Amino acid sequence: METEALRLFVLAADMLNISAAGRRLGLAPAVASARLAKLEKQLGADLLHRSTRKVSLSLEGAEFLPFAREILAQEDAARAALGQGDAEVSGTLRFAASSTFAQLYIVPLLPEFLERYPGVGLEMQLSDTRINLIEGGFDLALRNYAIEESSMRARKLADDKRILCASPGYLARYGTPQTPQDLAEHRLLAFTDGPAKALKAPGDLPGSRFPPPQARNRIACDDGASMRIATCAGVGISMNSRWSVYREIADGSLVRVLPDYEIDDRSAIWLVYPKSNVLTAKVRVLIDFLLEKIGDPPVWERDAPPPV
């Protein structure tokens, strides 16, 4: 099986255009079609569905695609180890991240990253909803929850300290909770389907949680940015990552609630990639870049005021 035929297949699958993929590799359309047909004959499966109007991946092609990417990544890594790879880092990197975090900390850095690595393209999926990296074909993802899958490797980007906060207007109208038990009488914002988190304070007995099970006024939300905006607008008390609200805490738009208490979940922000994947140059440079720009101590701790 020729790796150049695999490279043509991966490009055709990404572009959904065999002729354009062939031109990218310097092949005439007829040659590209013949090379793909030869690969399909060797594999005994149709990888692409062709019609006069469009090209699409077959079921077999979709299942084979991650393996083809892996073979090419292995070849590129082996050549690089022998000093035979391209000096310039290149390729399209599929990256998934929390939309809230990306808006604040990653998207503003993109001009500098792309200027430093002009040969790298980014295909980004930004959502606060969990996604499957392997099924989605992602090269790298940013996650701010515990990594449980044995199929993943991870690099820690920063701690993810979480705090309770509310707007001054809300607290003036409804009062300021003095104990975790007081939270049950307040309007609370929590993540949709998110488990309750333990609250801890020095010398306090365990058992307090946010949101408390007896809370009556709960508003569920699946987007961190919307939760921050709603909290600033006075909707209620919410749990937020410090990186999401440290500017609002600093300028007084938000106030820490129960400042002696912390969310006890040891959460962190991780850069995650499938264990089966070779750590290609394009993935490595993005990891190093984000560690350089955001990592320990993270920017929100460097610039943050002293704790309230």
* Range 162-263: architecture per CATH: 3-Layer(aba) Sandwich (3.40)
Closest CA to 247 of 222, 270, 225, 223: 225
List, for the chain, all residue ranges whose pLDDT scores fall below the cut of 50.
87, 306-308
Which CATH fold would you assign to the domain 3-81? Arc Repressor Mutant, subunit A (1.10.10)
Instruction: Give the 3-state secondary structure of residue 47.
Output: coil
- Class of domain 91-159+267-302 (CATH, top level): alpha beta
Of all residues in the chain, what percent carry a pLDDT higher than 90? 39
Percentage helix, strand, coil for the chain under 3-state DSSP, each rounded to 5? 40, 25, 35
Decide whether 91-159+267-302 matches 162-263 in CATH topology.
yes
Please give the pLDDT value at position 148.
61
Q: Where are the domains of the chain?
A: 3-81, 91-159+267-302, 162-263
pLDDT tens by residue, 35-53: 999 999 999 999 999 887 7
pLDDT tens by residue, 161-196: 889 999 999 999 999 999 898 999 999 998 887 778
Query: CA distances (Å), 203 to each of 56, 206, 248, in order?
Result: 62, 9, 29
Please give the pLDDT value at position 167.
97
Question: Is-above-0.85 flag for pTM?
Answer: no
